[in-house]
Amino acid sequence: MATKDEQLAADVREAQKRYPGCTLEAKEFAALLAQRSDLGEVAHVQDLYVCTAALQGDGVAIAALSSLVGAASARLLTASNPDKVDEVAQRIRVRLLSPLDGSAPKLAQYRGRAALGTWLRVIAARESLLITRSPENARRDDRTMAALRDPCVPTGVQMDRESYVALFKTTFHRHFEALSIHDRTLLRQHYRDGIPIFKLAVVRGVHRGTLARELAQIRGRLENAVSSDMRIALKLSAEEQNRLQGELASQLEASLSRLFRETPA
């Protein structure tokens, strides 16, 4: 009959087969488990292993956990609230690994008593209720454009300020809403929630450079779409278009920062 240490080592080997590339060794895993007084009987050792590895910063484990969160959110919400799947998943990833309030990661509370997928679906259910039932959420879209900074009329543009502001906000809103749910969520997390790129990269399981480029690409697509429509609406010459491009880029960056800073999470 295998000893407790031998059984744990066997469970770790199976977990490493299930999550190829995880580097947390059996001895280190055992030492980390010994520090926890809340565990008791662990029924799902492999699930606890991947959670522990993720908390230690193992990239493979974080990526696996991110995938499981996405699957749990999709399973719960695809039929009832498909447009909320990505938002719920991203909120859960942040809570699990890098809470904004500085509290301990929620993932540290997983004890391996229930299967990890079941545990995540419970969290997803709670998170979806917070989003879908909150009166604040229902009013968010109305406040979105109200929170935008009123831009100044670019030099040489023959339009009164009120009309220009209305045109800019309408154009911005149309193209912002046309972004994918994934892109809007990423912008909200970075600008509204103030999550730095390196933390977003951790919870998404990607390199910070990759995430920085993705954010830049989203902003670039939004900027180009808004600029193009503004140039057409304003009937600008080629020279005026070039000059407006720089001003619009500055206005968009200011608008994104103000928009998400003043729209409550």
Final residue belonging to a domain, choices 78, 100, 132: 132
- pLDDT, greater one: 49 or 164: 49
> Which pLDDT does position 103 carry in this prediction?
79
**Joined tokens for residue 264:** 């409550």
- pLDDT, greater one: 265 or 69: 69
75 and 99 in a single domain? The answer is yes
98 and 122 in a single domain? The answer is yes
81 burial level (CB within 10 Å; 0-12, 13-18, 19+): middle
Nearest by Cα to 128 from 59, 203, 74, 179: 74
119 and 147 in a single domain? The answer is no
Question: Model confidence over 95-113: pLDDT tens digits?
Answer: 888 776 677 889 999 999 8
> Which pLDDT does position 257 carry in this prediction?
62
Q: Is the confidence at residue 218, as pLDDT, over 70?
A: yes
- pLDDT, greater one: 209 or 130: 209
> Which pLDDT does position 201 carry in this prediction?
81
10 and 119 in a single domain? The answer is yes
151 and 124 in a single domain? The answer is no
39 and 146 in a single domain? The answer is no
106 and 126 in a single domain? The answer is yes
88 and 178 in a single domain? The answer is no
Per cent of the chain over pLDDT 90 is 17
Question: Model confidence over 5-45: pLDDT tens digits?
Answer: 888 899 899 999 999 999 899 999 999 999 988 888 888 99
- pLDDT, greater one: 137 or 32: 32
Question: Model confidence over 78-94: pLDDT tens digits?
Answer: 776 777 788 888 888 88
Nearest by Cα to 32 from 13, 47, 52: 52
Do residues 48 and 112 lie in contact, with contact meaning Cβ atoms separated by under 8 Å? yes
> Which pLDDT does position 48 carry in this prediction?
95
Final residue belonging to a domain, choices 116, 132, 148: 132
Do residues 176 and 229 lie in contact, with contact meaning Cβ atoms separated by under 8 Å? no
Do residues 55 and 104 lie in contact, with contact meaning Cβ atoms separated by under 8 Å? no
| Number of structural domains in the chain | 2
237 and 212 in a single domain? The answer is yes
> Which pLDDT does position 262 carry in this prediction?
39
> Which pLDDT does position 197 carry in this prediction?
84
> Which pLDDT does position 256 carry in this prediction?
66
- Domain with 224, as residue range(s), is 139-262
> Which pLDDT does position 50 carry in this prediction?
95
Under the banding of pLDDT at 50, 70 and 90, the label for residue 265 is very low
> Which pLDDT does position 260 carry in this prediction?
54
Q: Which long-range contacts (CB under 8 A, 24 or more apart) does 243-249 make?
A: 243/154, 243/155, 243/156, 244/154, 244/157, 247/154, 248/154, 248/223, 249/223
Q: Which long-range contacts (CB under 8 A, 24 or more apart) does 249-257 make?
A: 249/223, 251/149, 251/151, 251/168, 252/172, 252/219, 252/222, 252/223, 252/226, 253/219, 254/149, 254/151, 255/148, 255/149, 255/151, 255/172, 256/187, 256/191, 256/219, 257/191
Of 36-40, 203-207, 261-265, the range with the highest mean pLDDT is 36-40
> Which pLDDT does position 110 carry in this prediction?
92
> Which pLDDT does position 97 carry in this prediction?
85
The Cα-based distances of 249 to 150, 167, 252 in angstroms read 14, 16, 5
112 and 176 in a single domain? The answer is no
> Which pLDDT does position 20 carry in this prediction?
92
Under the banding of pLDDT at 50, 70 and 90, the label for residue 151 is low
105 and 218 in a single domain? The answer is no
181 and 99 in a single domain? The answer is no
pTM: predicted TM-score of the whole model, two decimal places: 0.56
Final residue belonging to a domain, choices 109, 132, 155: 132
> Which pLDDT does position 63 carry in this prediction?
87
> Which pLDDT does position 128 carry in this prediction?
76
